[in-house]
Structure 1
Amino acid sequence: MKYLVKLNLASIILALPVFAAIELIGNALRISRITGWEYGKVERSVTLINIAGFLLTGILIVYVTRRILDNRRIAMITSLLWFAYFSLFVYLFAALFPMTVHEDEPAPVTGLIFIGILILHFLYVAIVQACSIFLTVREDE
């Protein structure tokens, strides 16, 4: 039971970076309107934050796999479980902060970009976790 809680905690942690990246991209127009910054500045800032987040996510995946999940092979299930928590976060964010200004809505093609980001995040998590688990030198061997 204790390990199940760890798996869910790890899944929540792995869902947060992709949630933040997608919400920043989807709400760039809203951020521009609220802060008063020009859209180009917001777009550059979001891009830099997403690149830094991508790099830090790799470190986070290794840390979560090794420290929280004890580097077990069952930890690979978190490469799928994070999607449920991601969906929950998106639903809660949309319910708490609805789009009230029509001009803040992103372009329709943004959904395709989000699908690509989700697929890449899944592959990234799975590959980094597999490398973390299977390339670790075990003390007992």
Structure 2
Amino acid sequence: MSFFGKLNVVSALYAFVLFIAIELMLNVYRIARVTGWELEIVTKAGIAIYIIGFIFSTALFIIITKKWMEARNAIFWSTLLWVPYFVLFIFTFATLFPINNPGDEPNPGVGLLIIGALLFYPVYLLFINVFGSGLGITEDENTI
């Protein structure tokens, strides 16, 4: 696979992980209604999925970056290329699964959390790309 293809696959993977986290956050009431679970159980399960997913996806992103991205400066485009994929995932999900039950509407405060996640995510991806590629790490012979 070419570097361009690998870059787009990695960017789509970045977008998919954030998409899953945001959709879990937005659809807590729908998940509780469909599964029949209490809202507290769905919320605690969501938090556990966020923590486990964050740890797993960070490790996966670093491994993929080391293996596929070849320590090129062009990998930093992935900090922006995830946005079109993210919009595509959100649009597709909203089209296929519209909210028909008014009780499934998300809490208005979730929007603030999503804005914070969208602002933090490019910084997170930048750190992943720096640590995964080794481009931002310089070795000095005189340091201990």
Is the TM-score greater than 0.5? yes
Aligned to 2:142: none
Q: Cα offset for 1:55?
A: 1.0
Aligned to 2:23: 23
Q: Cα offset for 1:77?
A: 0.8
Q: Cα offset for 1:37?
A: 0.2
| Cα distance in 1 between the residues matched to 2:58 and 2:73 | 18
* Deviations 1:85-117 (CA, angstroms, capped at 9, x unpaired): 011100000000000101101022211110111
| Cα distance in 1 between the residues matched to 2:50 and 2:40 | 15
- Contact 2:66 2:132 survives alignment (8 Å): yes
Compared CA separation, residues 102 and 136, structure 1 to 2 (3 A): farther
Compared CA separation, residues 136 and 84, structure 1 to 2 (3 A): farther
| Matched pairs, number | 137
- Contact 1:76 1:126 survives alignment (8 Å): yes
TM value normalised by structure 1: 0.90
Unaligned 5+ residue runs, structure 1?
none
- Contact 1:62 1:129 survives alignment (8 Å): yes
Aligned to 1:78: 78
Q: Which stretch has the larger CA shift, 40-49 or 80-89?
A: 80-89
- Contact 1:7 1:78 survives alignment (8 Å): yes
Q: Cα offset for 1:36?
A: 0.2
Aligned to 2:91: 91
- Contact 2:32 2:39 survives alignment (8 Å): yes
Q: Which stretch has the larger CA shift, 76-85 or 35-44?
A: 76-85
- Contact 2:63 2:132 survives alignment (8 Å): no
| Paired residue type of 2:54 | F
| Cα distance in 2 between the residues matched to 1:84 and 1:60 | 21
* Deviations 1:103-139 (CA, angstroms, capped at 9, x unpaired): 10102221111011122221111112112222388xx
Q: Cα offset for 1:71?
A: 2.5
Matched, 1:66 2:70: no
* Deviations 1:46-101 (CA, angstroms, capped at 9, x unpaired): 00001111111211221221112222221111011111101110000000000010
Query: Which structure has the greater CA radius of gyration?
Result: 2
- Contact 1:10 1:69 survives alignment (8 Å): no
Aligned to 1:48: 48
- Contact 2:11 2:85 survives alignment (8 Å): yes
**Cα RMSD between the aligned structures?**
1.6
